[in-house]
A = this chain, B = another copy of it.
Amino acid sequence: MRGQVPTLSVVLEAIRDRGTVSRVELAQATGLTGATITHAVRRLIQLRFVREAGQVSSGTGTPRRLLALVPEACHTIGIQFDRFRTVTVVLDLAGRVVGRRMDAGAGVRDPESMTTALAEIVTALLAETGVARATVLGAGVVTYGPQDQEAGVLLTPQPTDAWQGYPLADELARALGIPVLLENDATAAGLGHAGLGSARSSFATVYMAGGIGAGVMLDGQPYRGSSSNGVELGHISVDAAGEACTCGNVGCLENVAGPTAIVSRARADPALSARVDLAADTLTAFRRIGRAALGGDPAAAELISASANALAIATVTLVNLFDVARVVLAGDAFADVGAVYRDRTQQALARSSFIRAVHAVDVELSVQSTDAAAIGGAVTVLRDLFESARRPRVRG
């Protein structure tokens, strides 16, 4: 399921980190052999991702030829959508966001019209940023699960029955004229947070936007499970006496702590509804509740606090089960109140002696909460290209 750390990705990252660099320095920096570096660099130059960039003398020896990244050589696109938002980004080869826009989510649109809308968004974004479509390697479309990633298909009737089994990746690839792959939002947020430099890192991502999900990166590779639908944090039970969920479980985290649940409780509070304008989509309303909480509204603060507590307990579960030493919070729902969740989770983990007996667990808030998943979609395409010999997944 997981293979070697992708060599091309490691070498490219080392070149990107260093600006200009010699092959000898690359071998030192990566721990790879000279032969492996030579092979990888040749392939990167073939791909026009890297160019020769002069040489430096090295004392008494022969001069060393330098290598540099060609950031504009190619681009990848990441599209993250749920019912409420669509975030689209264009990344260059250096992993820099060179274009970004936010649009409406899927709402209850049928998949055909949403696919058409996404293709128009991409076309508009490429025009805005002046990126030629010929330089675009592919797009990663990022949304909730369950998914059949190999087939590029959603396995859920959300937001409407027509989405169940709809060939999203294939249809979007056809509409865009570029290869498209499908990725889980929480996994993508982890990839987006770590960027291409994630070759060796291990951490869990807790993702909260419309719903709640999680992803785990182990040695730089996403944990996939047996069907690429692992780490479904939103539908784990945090309350044995809680209400039944449509998923068949009781007391699901998403129903206790998620934006939909919190907004629904806020709307049921006439006094709070009078103070905070909740006549908006769920994510917007949730962010308004969060800002009211930060501004000192006690009812709003209580709702956010209850949500943060439940999420903290679920995150302890996640850490206890996967034994990771780092947790990243990402997703649009954390954009305003992420620090509250981060601190509450850090406290819960500090209290939890089980894993603390073994190692500390750090919680951090993604600096790009809202965009991490979209960026991760673009990162996935680049990683996938490098790894395609091993795991062919991109279609077009």
Interface residues of chain A, those whose CB is within 8 Å of chain B, are 1-2, 146, 148, 155-156, 202, 214, 218-219, 224-233, 235-242, 246-251, 256, 309-310, 313-314, 316-318, 320-325, 348, 350-359
Q: Is the CB of B357 within 8 A of A230?
A: no
CB distance from A311 to the nearest CB of B (A): 11
CB distance from A164 to the nearest CB of B (A): 8
Q: Is the CB of B354 within 8 A of A232?
A: yes
CB distance from A252 to the nearest CB of B (A): 9
Q: Is the CB of A256 within 8 A of B230?
A: no
A227 CA to B229 CA, complexed, in Å? 24
- Chain B residues within 8 Å of A359, by CB: 226-227
CB distance from A212 to the nearest CB of B (A): 12
A323 CA to B350 CA, complexed, in Å? 28
A240 CA to B256 CA, complexed, in Å? 10
- Chain B residues within 8 Å of A2, by CB: 2
A214 CA to B323 CA, complexed, in Å? 12
In the complex, the 7 A-B pairs of residues with the closest C-beta atoms, listed nearest first: A225-B323, A248-B351, A230-B323, A236-B317, A232-B320, A248-B352, A239-B240
Q: Is the CB of B357 within 8 A of A321?
A: no
A236 CA to B316 CA, complexed, in Å? 7
CB contact under 8 A between A202 and B226, given known A248-B353, A355-B146, A357-B146: yes
- Chain B residues within 8 Å of A233, by CB: 320-321
Q: Is the CB of B236 within 8 A of A239?
A: no
Q: Is the CB of A358 within 8 A of B155?
A: yes
A265 CA to B47 CA, complexed, in Å? 68
Copies in the complex: 2
Q: Is the CB of A313 within 8 A of B248?
A: no
- Chain B residues within 8 Å of A232, by CB: 320-321, 323, 354-355
CB contact under 8 A between A227 and B358, given known A313-B240, A316-B236: yes
CB distance from A105 to the nearest CB of B (A): 21
A226 CA to B319 CA, complexed, in Å? 10
Q: Is the CB of B310 within 8 A of A225?
A: no
20 example contacts (A-B, Cβ-Cβ < 8 A) are as follows: A1-B218, A146-B355, A226-B324, A227-B323, A228-B323, A231-B320, A231-B323, A235-B354, A236-B316, A236-B320, A237-B317, A238-B238, A238-B240, A246-B353, A247-B354, A248-B348, A248-B356, A317-B321, A321-B321, A321-B322
- Chain B residues within 8 Å of A235, by CB: 320, 352, 354
A202 CA to B2 CA, complexed, in Å? 13
CB distance from A356 to the nearest CB of B (A): 8
- Chain B residues within 8 Å of A322, by CB: 225, 230-231, 321
Q: Is the CB of A231 within 8 A of B358?
A: no
Q: Is the CB of A249 within 8 A of B318?
A: no
Q: Which residue of B lies closest to A244 (CB)?
A: B351
Q: Which residue of B lies closest to A318 (CB)?
A: B321
Q: Is the CB of B241 within 8 A of A353?
A: no
- Chain B residues within 8 Å of A316, by CB: 236-237, 249
- Chain B residues within 8 Å of A313, by CB: 237, 240, 249-250
CB distance from A94 to the nearest CB of B (A): 29
Q: Is the CB of B1 within 8 A of A323?
A: no
